[in-house]
C-alpha cells in the first residue's frame, strides 16, 4: 500500500465562474508540485472539470467529480455518467456525500454509483459517517450497517478502486473537527467493517480519509494522530492561501 497521503478538495458549488475556477486549479497545481509525500485531487463542479485538467506531464494535480449518475446512458435529462466524466479526464468521483444522502441518495443508490464509477475505470471516493455520536455506542451500529448496505453488490475484485472517506455528518460544516484520537478509533472501525465484507487483506489495503471541518490549523494533527491516509476537504479547498498551507501541513507528516 502506498505511503503517500491523499488530499481531495471538494469544491462543492464553487466558484461562481470559469476564470476563477481556472485560477484556483492553477494555484493548487503549483502548490501540489512542491509536495514530496502527498497526492492532490481537485473536484470542481461538473462544468469546470475539463478546464481544470492539465494534459502536461508530470501532472501534480489530478481532477475528479463531486458525483455521478446511477445510469450508464440514455434518456436521463440532467444526469452525468461515469464514462462522460472519465472522457473529460476525471480520475475519481465522490459518492455518498452526506449532502447527497440528505437529498435522497439511499445506501442502494450509493452502491449503484460506486459500481458505475469503478466499472468506468475510475476510483470511487465513498463517504460514510454517522449522523450523531451516541453515548451508548449506537453510532457504531449505524456506521457498520451503512457500510454493509453501501457496498452490497460490489465485486471484491473492484475494491482496489475504492477509497473510504469517513465524514461524521455532525462535523461537516461545523466549527471544530472531531478530535484526532477519536478519528483514529473510527478509522480503525471503518477498516474493520470494510474487512468484514471483503476480507482481511482488503481491509488492510483500503485507504481511509477524514472529512469534516478540516482546515490548515488542524490538518496535521488529524493525519498524524488520527492515523488516516489523507483528507477530504470541503470549503477550505477553495480558500487560498489556506488550502496551500493545509497541503504543506499534511506533506510535513511524511
Among residues 222, 215, 236, 223, the alpha carbon closest in space to that of 12 is found at 236
Which ranges constitute the DSSP H helices of 33-179? 49-52, 82-88, 98-102, 107-119, 138-150
Q: Which residues contact 248 (CB under 8 A, 6 or more apart)?
A: 31, 35
What average pLDDT is seen over the chain? 96
pLDDT for residue 1: 45
Model pLDDT for residues 13-70, shown as the tens digit of each residue? 999 999 999 999 999 999 999 999 999 999 999 999 999 999 888 899 999 999 999 9
Please pick, among 76, 97, 99, 245, the residue that the annotation labels catalytic.
97
C-alpha span between 141 and 145 (Å, rounded): 6
Residue 100 annotated as catalytic: no
Asked if 209 contacts 8 with a C-beta cutoff of 8 angstroms, the reply is yes
Model pLDDT for residues 93-147, shown as the tens digit of each residue? 999 999 999 999 999 999 999 999 999 999 999 999 999 988 789 999 999 999 9
Residue 139 annotated as catalytic: no
Please pick, among 134, 167, 176, 200, the residue that the annotation labels catalytic.
167
C-alpha span between 99 and 129 (Å, rounded): 12
What are phi and psi for residue 242, nearest 5 degrees? Answer: -55, -40
Query: What pTM was computed for the model?
Result: 0.97
Q: Where do the domains of the chain lie, and which CATH numbers do they carry?
A: 5-251 (3.20.20.70)
Chain centroid to CA 108: how far? 19
Amino acid at each position: 500500500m502506498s505511503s503517500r497521503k491523499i488530499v481531495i478538495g471538494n469544491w462543492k458549488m464553487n466558484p461562481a465562474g470559469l476564470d476563477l475556477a481556472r485560477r484556483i486549479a492553477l494555484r493548487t497545481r503549483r502548490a501540489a508540485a512542491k509536495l514530496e509525500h502527498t497526492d492532490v485531487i481537485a473536484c470542481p463542479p461538473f462544468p469546470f472539470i475539463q478546464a481544470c485538467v492539465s494534459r502536461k506531464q508530470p501532472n501534480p494535480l489530478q481532477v475528479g467529480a463531486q458525483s455521478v449518475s446511477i445510469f450508464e446512458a440514455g434518456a436521463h435529462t440532467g444526469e452525468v455518467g461515469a464514462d462522460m466524466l472519465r472522457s473529460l479526464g476525471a480520475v475519481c468521483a465522490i459518492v455518498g456525500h452526506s449532502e447527497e444522502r440528505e437529498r435522497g441518495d439511499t445506501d442502494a443508490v450509493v452502491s449503484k454509483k460506486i459500481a458505475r464509477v469503478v466499472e468506468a475505470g475510475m476510483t470511487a471516493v465513498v463517504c460514510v459517517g454517522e449522523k450523531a455520536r451516541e453515548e451508548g455506542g449506537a453510532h457504531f451500529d449505524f456506521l457498520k450497517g451503512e457500510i454493509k448496505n453501501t457496498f452490497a453488490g460490489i465485486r471484491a475484485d473492484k475494491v482496489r478502486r475504492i477509497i473510504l472517506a469517513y465524514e461524521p455528518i455532525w462535523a461537516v460544516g461545523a466549527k471544530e473537527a472531531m478530535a484526532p484520537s477519536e478519528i483514529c478509533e473510527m478509522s480503525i472501525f471503518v477498516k474493520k467493517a470494510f474487512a468484514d465484507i471483503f476480507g482481511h487483506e482488503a481491509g488492510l489495503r483500503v485507504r481511509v480519509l477524514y472529512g469534516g471541518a478540516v482546515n490548515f490549523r488542524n490538518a496535521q494533527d488529524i493525519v498524524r494522530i488520527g492515523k488516516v491516509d489523507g483528507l477530504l476537504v470541503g470549503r477550505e479547498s477553495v480558500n487560498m492561501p489556506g488550502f496551500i498551507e493545509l497541503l504543506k501541513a499534511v506533506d510535513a507528516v511524511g
